[in-house]
Structure 1
């Protein structure tokens, strides 16, 4: 019964419209194609079950909650560090502006000098005693200690005066920075009044947040499009390979069928070409003979040929008669050969005596 129900569930999962697309959308980082899900319905069923307990990145619900909590804690720590870092850098910028301008009222000059000394003393103390951030032992630099450096702090009344006046100057400095950022973000607003700039400055964070959200949305859309493009590219390549294999099969079958006809036609063509070449050679030979020999030389050569052929015929007849006589002599045996040799010797004797 369980097997039947499981088979029915698999069939339902495999036949439901758009199921494979939903599974692929639930696991965009998984390198699985629709053909894989079609050929493995049990694996498709497993992915459908896992999709209820996992998100698109592959994290479980509990792990995702822990990750979100850790990210919130990290963001809180980051915001706290950013506040301190922005304040510190703003103070350093104010000191740099003081050194660049050099023409300021005495009270502001005293304020910036006191602030610069406090910053230097704090930085030196932090360098000499890093125990607040690390577990290292305090380094010994030129025999200095944090307490000896703290003695260089400006007078307490100057520090107190600096603390009372610093918020106003810091606010003014930050406002100038924000207006500069606003002019950079929207250059066409630079020519407007300061009041209107201040109003628009209050909405700048919202605009930047919208731009950030839009950028993240576009980034997510680009990621989805990239994954979709990769999947479509894989499908396109697989279909292209199938088409190429089918085309190769058709080419081979077609070539095997027409190869015999092509060979026959090629053979007939070569035979016809050979006959044409032979006829051309014969024509060339006849043309050469006609250009070389005149009618008189041809008749003379014919007569010479007839005479030579008649002499050759007579020589062949004499040769045949000599061969017949030689065969008749050979029939008489070795004794007749000895008598013939003696006869030849006696025939040569008178000739030799005549010479003497």
Structure 2
């Protein structure tokens, strides 16, 4: 393989790895599978790093923008609703600690009633797609709930003063957020706080982007670390295999001498044990068979041999008689069985007569 083709292959490998950072692929995998590497290189022209095609990614961006727009609208209305609820809660707490002017009390009571009515209406008709044939909640209708609204005069007065009160409330919340974000700015003047508050959104957005950049860098470092870990483990496994082969070769070289020495040791030990066993057997025989015991054993053996010969002669004679009886046939066997039966009956009668005589004497 020439240097130019090698450099081209390495460049192609790097391009594929950069195009698919989320895939656990190494250069060795692509070197061993060149067709798969070409397939990935061709596929990289049609998809991005996340695996999405260009048209699908465009549609996804449009859907994401639409979702973000709707999310901003929802957050705007939800933030406004939460802010109004917080204002009513703060007023309720304030009433229990200080004396509130009647007009301010009327303002917050009107706003609270309007919020409650709007929440009830939202519960009765949560969406425009609600089926009109469905039974209403608690049998109430929107018109019945609207009758609970405060007088129109109070509502108009509340609407006139609402922007100012809401602006004050949001300003206090922003200043508290500023104090939480930078506690050292809490003792600054109101003008300086207002200036810093105007730059807070940009600063938070800058830090958010920095956090996202750090997250992306962390993800790339994680992928790189996984790749390096895989390479490290592969090299470590190769080193372990080489070390195992070296240990095995060294062990095989010295194993022959070690086995031979062990064999010689065990052979010598076995020979020593056999000699000890022989010595013990000789000592046992010497202790057991003395001169007197040997002569007595000889006499006993002679007597036993004589009795054995006599028994053998008797056995031969009995076998001859038995053979002569067998010549007589089955009739003799019947007579012999009848003779045995009569002998048993005679013995039983003798036993019964003896028992009866002993009982009569008593």
TM (norm. structure 1) is: 0.70
Question: What is the aligned counterpart of 2:72 among 79, 87, 96?
Answer: 79
Q: How far is the alpha carbon of 1:50 from its aligned partner? A: 2.1
Alignment check: 8 A CA contact 1:13 1:45 kept: no
SS at match of 1:72: helix
**1:226–1:134 distance in 2 versus 1, CA, 3 Å:** farther
Aligned to 2:28: 35
* Residue 39 of structure 2 corresponds to residue 46 of structure 1: yes
Q: How far is the alpha carbon of 1:68 from its aligned partner? A: 0.6
| Equivalent-residue separation in structure 1 for 2:271 and 2:186 (angstroms) | 97
Aligned to 2:175: 179
**Pairing 1:56-135 to 2, within 5 Å after superposition:** 56-102=49-95, 103-132=99-128, 134-135=130-131
* Residue 261 of structure 2 corresponds to residue 265 of structure 1: yes
Aligned to 1:26: 19
Post-superposition CA distance 1:113-172 (Å, at most 9, x none): 000000111111111122426457554333321101101111111111111110000000
SS at match of 2:137: coil
Question: What is the aligned counterpart of 2:152 among 128, 139, 156?
Answer: 156
Aligned to 1:145: 141
**1:137–1:27 distance in 2 versus 1, CA, 3 Å:** farther
Post-superposition CA distance 1:276-295 (Å, at most 9, x none): 999xx9xxxxxxxxxxxxxx
| Equivalent-residue separation in structure 2 for 1:194 and 1:274 (angstroms) | 104
Aligned to 1:354: none
| Equivalent-residue separation in structure 1 for 2:156 and 2:268 (angstroms) | 119
| Equivalent-residue separation in structure 2 for 1:156 and 1:173 (angstroms) | 25
Question: What is the aligned counterpart of 1:199 among 195, 213, 230?
Answer: 195
Alignment check: 8 A CA contact 1:121 1:150 kept: yes
| Equivalent-residue separation in structure 2 for 1:17 and 1:34 (angstroms) | 8
SS at match of 1:132: coil
**1:58–1:180 distance in 2 versus 1, CA, 3 Å:** same
Post-superposition CA distance 1:34-69 (Å, at most 9, x none): 111111222222222222222110111111111111
Q: How far is the alpha carbon of 1:175 from its aligned partner? A: 0.3
Aligned to 2:302: none
Gaps of 5+ in 2: 277-290, 292-362
Runs of 4+ in 1 over 3 A off after TM superposition: 11-19, 133-139, 265-278
SS at match of 2:138: coil
Question: What is the aligned counterpart of 1:168 among 137, 140, 164?
Answer: 164
Q: How far is the alpha carbon of 1:21 from its aligned partner? A: 2.9
Aligned to 2:348: none
Question: What is the aligned counterpart of 2:234 among 232, 238, 243?
Answer: 238
**1:234–1:123 distance in 2 versus 1, CA, 3 Å:** same
Post-superposition CA distance 1:1-46 (Å, at most 9, x none): xxxxxx99xx847744443233212101222221111112222222
Gaps of 5+ in 1: 1-6, 282-307, 309-356
**1:202–1:71 distance in 2 versus 1, CA, 3 Å:** same
| Equivalent-residue separation in structure 2 for 1:35 and 1:17 (angstroms) | 11
| Equivalent-residue separation in structure 2 for 1:133 and 1:233 (angstroms) | 55
Q: How far is the alpha carbon of 1:94 from its aligned partner? A: 0.4
**Pairing 1:184-333 to 2, within 5 Å after superposition:** 184-268=180-264
Q: How far is the alpha carbon of 1:83 from its aligned partner? A: 0.7
Higher relative contact order, chain-length normalized (CA < 8 Å, sep 6+) = 2
